[in-house]
Amino acid sequence: MHEFGIAEAIVDAVERRANGRRVRRARVRAGVLLRIAGPAMDHAFAMVSEGTVAEGAELDLVTEPVRVTCRTCGHSTTSDDAFAVCHECGGTDIDTEGGDRLVLESIQIAEASHVPGHPRRDRGDPAGPY
């Protein structure tokens, strides 16, 4: 269940960017090598975000492919699957690039009326000078 660690990283990033505002939706790009299981991720995110600005927010998970290059035959491809054997020559000397990132792509802020003390300035991101 390493999804909990990932969920914590996501909630952290969301909190920093939300700057105290309530978050309705968070879009995250996650490399395929992280092997995130969707349902487990949703569950972990719901638990970790409890009591934070991200509580009840929807998590949009976008899987980012990995680039795989075979050192034996030079075959290169991107894949949504973290395979370890070259499809061309069957070699196992594989180079991977990317596919292990976790990036908070965007957040959607809930209606400003739910956030007392913060006037309507929810368009900009990162937040302007307070």
Q: Determine which residue in the list 67, 72, 85, 103 makes contact with Zn ion, applying CB under 5 A.
A: 72
Residue 79 phi/psi, 5-degree rounding, is -145, 145
DSSP result, 100-124 = --EEEEEEEEPPGGGSTT--S--S-
**Closest approach of Zn ion to the CB of residue 35, in Å:** 23
Contact assessment for residue 19 and residue 59, using Cβ atoms and an 8 Å cutoff: no
Q: Determine which residue in the list 89, 93, 101, 103 makes contact with Zn ion, applying CB under 5 A.
A: 89
Interface with Zn ion, residue 86, by CB under 5 A: yes
Contact footprint for Zn ion (CB under 5 A): 70, 72-73, 75, 86, 88-89, 91
